[in-house]
Structure 1
Amino acid sequence: MLHPGGLLAVDNALSHAAEVAPLAGRLDAEPGMHTVTVPVGTGVLLAFRS
């Protein structure tokens, strides 16, 4: 999905949690992928590939 060093930001991760969940699960399953949801505003999911 992402090249090493790549960063993906997904807005509205908390307000649309049901819609973001499949993507978050796929990102979590990827080797070398690190994810965090930042509880700011409507939420931002950040994903980084090491």
Structure 2
Amino acid sequence: MFAKLYRPGIHILSGLLFVNYRLRVASVVRDYGLNEREQAPEGSKSHEVE
């Protein structure tokens, strides 16, 4: 009984929530932070904070 009521409700709700959305699929090219600089571009390594 619950499944018969649940599915139509989810379908209606998802139609309201996702009227306008964007989906992006990407891959990481570089991953670095303030202290983890191994993958930082060469030009930015000279400005490291110690």
TM-score between the two structures when normalised by the length of structure 1: 0.26
Q: Which of the pair has the greater relative contact order for Cα pairs under 8 Å at 6+ separation?
A: 1
Give the helix-richer structure, 1 or 2.
2
Give the strand-richer structure, 1 or 2.
1
TM-score between the two structures when normalised by the length of structure 2: 0.26
Greater Rg over alpha carbons, structure: 2
